Structure 1
């Protein structure tokens, strides 16, 4: 059998006359009748075809078969097979053809030909009966509705979803056959398909059908518009597939994903418990409570669980959530005691660590908490809680509490799948709760450090206007190894400090606090910046040696090795600024005109590392200049890699931007350079310099002559009167007299007296000597030694600082407190 014969046999088995276009041929095989269907199939109008031989319409290969086909028709009374015709526009058309001879007195006078387009799509060559059986016996629910959305046909499989057999659906709408279903949304889809002609595929609908009224079902539906031969819509054909199990599995996975994303975002026990309740509502339950042992909330080790369920167990409510606003299902607030009766399901779950589930809760038989059975039972009954699960919160073999799930609004009870899901994500939450419990003590200690190690505010001083921004890399504790400080010094000067310790958390914070305290102590000595860093380096090295000799090397001394520090001293009287660095980036300097430069500062070794000595530089700063002291976390961000030059250039552009108030500008710069969570701690301290005008400073050069003491007192009194500080005249005269007298008696070189009015009244006497007076506590019989003792009593503070030419003895009196 040839290929053409095989095609003909196949076509005979699939030919459907109902879809064919009829033709009439005469004895010469010429066309005598041409229909509109034939015109649509081949494109020729009747005028172009009538009278032409049929062979002229075929491709040459099939036209040559005509004699053979005529002979077979005479032998077999008909012929069915495949022929290819030539469309009017030239393309071939594969047709299913049936030829039947019409006998006239024993001779064929004419031929009836039925032609149908085979096409390229699979299935179009099936017979109508096969297609009807396919639709009727399909396990997929299939229905056809007219343009009024009333049923005109449905298969038997649709009955499994409720709504009755096909004959009961005829002429009815979806809402009539499936009351309670959200028919409006489905009919809206059908109307859209009717209007646009665009099919809707795999539309998922969730609801309750008549076949399962107590269970939420999910169905995948597809809608296709049906059209007549002229393309006019005549209805909608849709299919329905039950995807409930797939839908529930997807919801379970989504719930687990949500639990992983939302539970355990902090090391706070209460917050973790509340996150557990929030995740379960409304995805799993309508009302959830989380009760924990009191020891867990305190961060202590939980005691062994009850030996039997005969013991009443007091728990504390740690979290709860409801689909109702305000959680009206309970009178137990967060942190209150939730006491359960002995033998109740919650106590049994705590005792044996096993979950418990009740599909249909009998309110009159369930009394769990303390109180009268009648009131508790009525509470369950009024609330309509009909299904419950209790899952113990267990981690590392220890029961920490229980989680209780209730359903009220949805009618389907909890099943085994729900219980398995609840146990899985409660187990995840239990680990988070236990971690929070285990680390709560460390977290509390970290929070104490956070409150006490970094400055809460800046001291009052007139030298600079300051603002700071700190952003730790450790979001858990909010702590890191970076710090900054503003320390008032004598003579109206101020010290600006920024430092960085390697590491984060408590260890880094402890090391940072130790260094910060050391810097403050060294600052009180009024040493130059390079000497402050030298002493600080010695302290770090000594602490590291002492701690390194012990077994535990994870201490603050070892953490401080390799730390960096920048120490800057600014004098608002002269405008001089001295600074030194121990392995720390140089500060940026923003001139009043907006020009940004970086100080050319020699970078000494990091603290505790040894090496070259520290060096300082001195600058003269114009009033209004801004110093930007920062840690390397600000300039060595992921956007710049570890390229400090690129980071400095970004900082330069940010500082040169439009000026604004210093506090807002500081936060803006950090937000711009570190827009996301930093991988290293970030600290930025900005200070705008001020100058004390000549009207606030008075200076006198004094002769080395005891007679000059009286002149110094008179000049001091006159200056205080000019400043409106007459109430301080007596004590200031006493201070000036004592300090000038000591300089004349015990020092050498020129003597200078200087008064400064700032936050305090500052009295300074400088000389060329290098010996510093010390405070004595004279006996009642001693004739001398009371001068500095009296000064210490009358002043707020006093001290000595050394200069390249000698020393300065200074004393400060408060301008806000009344004189003694």
Structure 2
């Protein structure tokens, strides 16, 4: 050998003697002829137990089929394979599972350059690098990555708990459970810090291994036995790495309850608190019955996973709390008992699934008319419910002013614009709305809408009646507003349906959705409650949005319930009007209210003669439980109530009307105005008791 040069044997001896990597030289029979004595997994093994043996003889816990496939690949192709990852139990450390990165190189005789076959590759060299720690660290990061990716996709506690155990099993643990505090405390007032060992916890999620390790069934709610790792974690909020075995003292607190752990072969578990904003929401417990027990690094993984999940659970609880408050507020702001009216029979279905701002209303109007309203506030939550309440109150107040439908929506748009300007994030529409007003005397229905779906109108036979209502702008968006009403005469027994988008959200095409709803409602003679239920069954709202359906089967007043007279605008007709009222009330059998009604009508007629124009229309409507008196003239000036002083000779007219009326008011149209009075039948108050000087 020349000076300064090392022969191959020296290099080989250095590699085999000092390399930190495991090196194995195999002959053609795939038996070890030389090996590195310092390689992990070989340390502690005597050389004679390795040399001369096949790999499956001294390392039987590695997958033999996987190894043979690698050897065959190198032998057949005559080229090296590098960096293949295999896992198995260490020969010299049976309690340790190794992750090894294996590279195989073919051996060739000097001077032979053949590829493939045993002739060119009489043996193999295997270089094995222990990557157990690196692989474990990578796996732990991958587990946390999976937790971050998959947990918290919904705002549902149960779903979040299930996502957490799915992310941990089987990659990190053989079983996992989530138990949530179930003490009945309000979520917004959840106490911070540790909890008592007597705090009940509800099993929210569990993912078992092949052998069931359940300590309690899903849905069970009870405190954990004391003292156990679970109660200790509740007590100080520190996660714990726990050995599981029959000799562990905490097992004795409930031998029967913890028996499934022992039966499943669980030997190691971690209990970690679910903490968010310093409040303890529950416990995460992970179990292992695989050969490798949990270690300190795994404890940190469980702690991080628990913190991530707790943040999402806290969001879910906050959402649930806000949803409950918003739903309660929304329900309280909806109409209570819908009044019974001769104008229309009504029924509704109201599904506040997302605590949004859908609403409806049925408003009795003057002249025996009825106002039907359905609206939808943009957004969800408490703010949407509060906005809905403000709009509904404003709309009802405006409707009771007897405004025409387009004027009503114009004023409501102004209210919505004010609400939008005061919102934390202004700049968009506030709500949509559809209004239909039906008059049972004329049988005319007037509809108008602001960015809302048009009402469905069906005839008594179920046929669709086209009511092409132009779509006005949504409420509160600003700019010039234009709302155009449409009026149609409806036969008695026709069906009106007003609804929100949530009812038809499962249909991608709104036109097809509308046709589907029309078919569902076509049997218009069925009870309205059954039609509401049928609409829910057939339309199948998603539950992701509120849904409202308001149905009204319209009626008509018979001719003998209405009396009308056209009178000249002369003072002498006041006595005529009183005489006509007396005769008509006698025909209706309402003599007991004849005197007070004559007083009301005489004051209304006198007011029309004094301040109005043109001929006067006097109309009486006998509507079951009430009597309506109306006087119409061609003046737009509205009368004003004022208190007469003792020295005044007049000024008591409208005061008298107010005293004898259940309600009274003024209704304007484009060409005239109507002053009306409503008396409740069966509640007569003698005029002499109120105004003795009149008698």
**Superposed pair shares fold, TM > 0.5:** yes
Query: Would the alpha carbon gap of residues 718 and 645 (structure 1) be closer, same or farther in structure 2, given more than 3 Å must change?
Result: same
Q: Residue 262 of structure 1: CA displacement?
A: 12
Q: Does 1:600 align with 2:468?
A: yes
| 2:374 aligns with one of 495, 498, 503 | 498
Q: Indicate the larger mover: 535-544 or 390-399.
A: 390-399
Alignment of 1:349-368 (within 5 A): 349-355=234-240, 357=242, 359-360=244-245
Which residue matches 1:486?
A: 362
Alignment of 1:431-450 (within 5 A): 431-450=311-330
Distance (Å, rounded) in 1 between the aligned partners of 2:459 and 2:406: 25
For each residue in 1:199-223, what CA deviation from the matched residue of structure 2 results, as whole angstroms up to 9, or x when unmatched?
xxxxxxxxxxxxxxxxxxxxxxxxx
Alignment of 1:647-666 (within 5 A): 647-656=513-522, 660-666=526-532
| Structure 1 unaligned blocks of 5 or more | 1-136, 141-256, 307-311, 368-376
Distance (Å, rounded) in 1 between the aligned partners of 2:215 and 2:587: 72
Which residue matches 1:554?
A: 425
Q: Indicate the larger mover: 800-809 or 775-784.
A: 775-784
Which residue matches 2:631?
A: 765
Distance (Å, rounded) in 1 between the aligned partners of 2:505 and 2:345: 27
Distance (Å, rounded) in 2 between the aligned partners of 1:403 and 1:361: 23
| 1:575 aligns with one of 443, 446, 452 | 443
3-state DSSP of counterpart to 2:654: helix
Distance (Å, rounded) in 1 between the aligned partners of 2:673 and 2:453: 31
Q: Does 1:802 align with 2:668?
A: yes
For each residue in 1:774-813, what CA deviation from the matched residue of structure 2 results, as whole angstroms up to 9, or x when unmatched?
1112334433322322332332211001134421111112
Distance (Å, rounded) in 2 between the aligned partners of 1:729 and 1:390: 87
Q: Residue 436 of structure 1: CA displacement?
A: 3.4
| 1:391 aligns with one of 271, 277, 293 | 271
8 Å CA contact 1:764, 1:809 repeated in 2: yes
Q: Residue 620 of structure 1: CA displacement?
A: 1.4
Distance (Å, rounded) in 1 between the aligned partners of 2:537 and 2:184: 41
Which residue matches 1:699?
A: 564
Distance (Å, rounded) in 2 between the aligned partners of 1:530 and 1:594: 29
3-state DSSP of counterpart to 1:596: coil
Q: Which has the higher contact order (CA 8 A, sep 6+)?
A: 2
Query: Would the alpha carbon gap of residues 380 and 322 (structure 1) be closer, same or farther in structure 2, given more than 3 Å must change?
Result: farther
Q: Does 1:451 align with 2:331?
A: yes
8 Å CA contact 1:522, 1:532 repeated in 2: yes
TM-score by length of 1: 0.53
Which residue matches 1:776?
A: 642
3-state DSSP of counterpart to 2:200: strand
Distance (Å, rounded) in 2 between the aligned partners of 1:534 and 1:397: 47
Which residue matches 2:679?
A: 813
Q: Residue 275 of structure 1: CA displacement?
A: 12
Distance (Å, rounded) in 1 between the aligned partners of 2:322 and 2:205: 33
**How many matched pairs?**
528
Which residue matches 1:187?
A: none
Which residue matches 1:626?
A: 495
8 Å CA contact 1:266, 1:272 repeated in 2: yes
| Structure 2 unaligned blocks of 5 or more | 1-56, 61-145, 207-213, 263-267, 687-695
3-state DSSP of counterpart to 1:598: coil
For each residue in 1:712-757, what CA deviation from the matched residue of structure 2 results, as whole angstroms up to 9, or x when unmatched?
3343344334434344334323322322222233323222222222
Distance (Å, rounded) in 1 between the aligned partners of 2:292 and 2:441: 79
TM-score by length of 2: 0.62
Distance (Å, rounded) in 1 between the aligned partners of 2:490 and 2:606: 35
Which residue matches 2:111?
A: none
Which residue matches 1:461?
A: 341
Alignment of 1:133-532 (within 5 A): 290-291=180-181, 297-300=186-189, 302-303=191-192, 305=193, 313=196, 316-319=199-202, 346-347=231-232, 349-355=234-240, 357=242, 359-360=244-245, 380=254, 391-396=271-276, 398=278, 400-403=280-283, 416=294, 430-471=310-351, 475=353, 478-532=354-408
Which residue matches 2:130?
A: none
Query: Would the alpha carbon gap of residues 347 and 617 (structure 1) be closer, same or farther in structure 2, given more than 3 Å must change?
Result: same
| 2:454 aligns with one of 586, 591, 603 | 586
8 Å CA contact 2:473, 2:481 repeated in 1: yes
Query: Would the alpha carbon gap of residues 366 and 781 (structure 1) be closer, same or farther in structure 2, given more than 3 Å must change?
Result: farther
Q: Residue 635 of structure 1: CA displacement?
A: 5.9
Distance (Å, rounded) in 2 between the aligned partners of 1:772 and 1:807: 8
Q: Residue 389 of structure 1: CA displacement?
A: 6.7
Which residue matches 1:103?
A: none
Q: Residue 400 of structure 1: CA displacement?
A: 0.5
| 2:596 aligns with one of 720, 726, 731 | 731
8 Å CA contact 2:365, 2:400 repeated in 1: yes
3-state DSSP of counterpart to 1:623: coil
8 Å CA contact 1:738, 1:788 repeated in 2: yes
8 Å CA contact 2:629, 2:677 repeated in 1: yes
3-state DSSP of counterpart to 2:465: strand
8 Å CA contact 2:238, 2:272 repeated in 1: yes
Which residue matches 2:433?
A: 565
Q: Does 1:752 align with 2:617?
A: yes
Q: Residue 443 of structure 1: CA displacement?
A: 2.5
Distance (Å, rounded) in 2 between the aligned partners of 1:454 and 1:261: 38
| 1:617 aligns with one of 465, 481, 486 | 486
Query: Would the alpha carbon gap of residues 403 and 614 (structure 1) be closer, same or farther in structure 2, given more than 3 Å must change?
Result: closer
Which residue matches 1:533?
A: 409
3-state DSSP of counterpart to 1:435: helix
Query: Would the alpha carbon gap of residues 635 and 416 (structure 1) be closer, same or farther in structure 2, given more than 3 Å must change?
Result: closer
Distance (Å, rounded) in 1 between the aligned partners of 2:632 and 2:677: 12
Distance (Å, rounded) in 2 between the aligned partners of 1:679 and 1:434: 21
For each residue in 1:346-390, what CA deviation from the matched residue of structure 2 results, as whole angstroms up to 9, or x when unmatched?
245542521253634789x769xxxxxxxxx9x847878687978
Distance (Å, rounded) in 1 between the aligned partners of 2:369 and 2:603: 24
Q: Residue 273 of structure 1: CA displacement?
A: 8.7
Distance (Å, rounded) in 1 between the aligned partners of 2:641 and 2:381: 43
